[in-house]
Amino acid sequence: MTHPDQQPVPAEETIACEFESFGLSADIVRGLKEAGFKKPSPIQEQAIPFVLAGKDMIAQAQTGTGKTAAFGLPVMSQITQNGGVEVLVVTPTRELASQVSTELFRLGKYAGVKTVAVYGGQSITRQVDLVNKGAQVLVATPGRLLDHLRSGRLKGFAPKVVVLDEADEMLDMGFLEDIEAIFEFLPKKRQTLLFSATMPKAISRLGEKILNQPVHLKITSGATTGVDIEQRYYVIAEHERTDATVRLLESEGPDRTIIFCRTKRETEALSNELISLGYVARALHGDMDQKSRERSIGAFKNAEVEILVATDVAARGLDVTGVSHVINYHMPFDAESYVHRIGRTGRAGKKGVAITLVSPFEFRSIKRIQEVTGAPMVVDQVPSIKDVETLQDQRLVQSILESKVTAGAQRVLARMEQEIELKALATKLLSMIMEKTLVSGPDQIGMRPVEIERLEKRSQGPARPGSGGGSGGRRPFKPGNFHRAGKKPYPAKH
């Protein structure tokens, strides 16, 4: 709470909740704090002030960027509780409807906001009862909502705010006509907000029909950089790329990983190498026909494949949840593609890890990307074979301690106790279950901190501004990508 006539708030507290500075109600702030929100996401930062000001809006932002709270917080902050539904949220599926209403409930509970989700497959009378019993927010799928509206079952239905959530999905599911029909029943004087991950023509046309002088927002994945992504890079020699990748895979124990390469040939070579080591990997590149592309993506989505080895182009628009790691086997060509690549992880509020392998020649380029994107990258050292072993041992010990004892195991143990000493038995069992380590090469690969420091000093020497130089690789970076870097080259961040 920052009334102008009050003592200035200590700086720490101001930073502690940027949400407060929007002027959201105290109850809403309490709800979002309890939900663990600390910093507004980019779409929230941009949308909240306009929504609070009563503007119409058409906003494009990827899945997992926090769109629900972007409209939910400001809208619920302004609920008056004068009776009747004040906010209508239309979502494409019942899963999304229940997801959105759960999120709104969580954020709005201290503000006493009542939310009802309405979708097909539920009892109609019960839904109508709930709505008429004083819900302020109605979250609905198009078909069922239209049903209710046409039958006139919702009394005095006149929401002040209407939100179309995930509009592109509604289009894909063939709901466009239903949506247009729904608006026939809505008051002309209203605030309308349209959110979509992509912006096909049909959606912008719909926007023109239903929105009144809207604010246009577009959050490219670039803006999501670093929110929830741990970014590290490793300096390695050219020939160490594959070894370093394997060590990092082994030491990180990732769930699902996308590895980015520069060329189609590289994706094939690396995925074959990984497959031969026993990983379940697939290549994904632009020369594959649509069918095999879809097969690769599908298998990765269903978690049948743990590693996707892809080129930038092939991975464009790929939206898979649960990607724990992105590894840049080779540096991306420019800052924008770096941001696109790492945006594949760290979605939906989950923490992700982005790892970039750079050769000493590419050192300046990674520094520039860091500068342009403002990404919080840290340099790290490739784990030694010993490090990898220690980590793997720890994981094994943990999983043994956590596993349950089965009746079958007890039965076999009772029988074996006569024949073999327990320690010998344990050793044999461990040998059976311990995976063969995949790491190879010398114990130590990649540059050590002292060497990196030296490299860093050298790279801070007189830079040729705008030359895009320093990469020394086959493909120098285009100077055009680094306008902002011109001002303050190579800050000594480390």
Closest among 370, 376, 377 to 484, alpha carbons compared: 370
Which of 34/238 has CB closer to ligand ADP? 34
Which of 165/266 has CB closer to ligand ADP? 165
Q: Pick from ligand ADP, Mg ion, none: which does 255 bind, CB < 5 to 8 A by kind? A: none
Please report whether residue 67 would count as binding Mg ion according to CB under 5 A: yes
Which of 195/234 has CB closer to ligand ADP? 195
Please report whether residue 329 would count as binding ligand ADP according to CB under 6 A: no
Which residues, including other chains, have CB under 8 Å from residue 178's CB and lie 6 or more apart? Answer: 142, 143, 146
Helix-strand-coil split of the chain, %, nearest 5:
45, 15, 40
Q: 147-159 burial, b if ≥16 CB within 10 A, otherwise e?
A: bbbeeebbeebeb
Q: How far is the CB of 433 from ligand ADP (least distance, A)?
A: 36
Please report whether residue 68 would count as binding ligand ADP according to CB under 6 A: yes
Please report whether residue 349 would count as binding ligand ADP according to CB under 6 A: yes
Question: Per CB under 6 A, which of residues 8..67 are in contact with ligand ADP?
Answer: 37, 39-41, 44, 61, 63-67
Residue 287 identity: D
Instruction: Specify the stretch interacting with Mg ion by CB under 5 A; choose among 27-35, 63-71, 120-128, 341-349.
Output: 63-71
Q: 25-56 burial, b if ≥16 CB within 10 A, otherwise e?
A: bebbbebbeeeebeebbbbbbbbbebbbeebb
Whole-angstrom distance, CA of residue 195 vs CA of residue 433: 49
Sign of CA dihedral 453, 377, 245, 340: negative
Which of 169/230 has CB closer to Mg ion? 169
Q: How far is the CB of 58 from ligand ADP (least distance, A)?
A: 15
Q: How far is the CB of 195 from Mg ion (least distance, A)?
A: 7
Q: How far is the CB of 431 from ligand ADP (least distance, A)?
A: 43
**CA dist 369 to 184, 218, 340, 410, 487, Å?**
49, 22, 12, 57, 14
137 has which bridge partners?
87, 115
SS3 at position 28 = helix
Q: How far is the CB of 350 from ligand ADP (least distance, A)?
A: 8
Using CB under 6 A, count the residues that bind ligand ADP: 16
Q: Which residues bind ligand ADP (CB under 6 A)?
A: 37, 39-41, 44, 61, 63-69, 103, 348-349
Applying CB under 5 A, which residues contact Mg ion?
Answer: 67
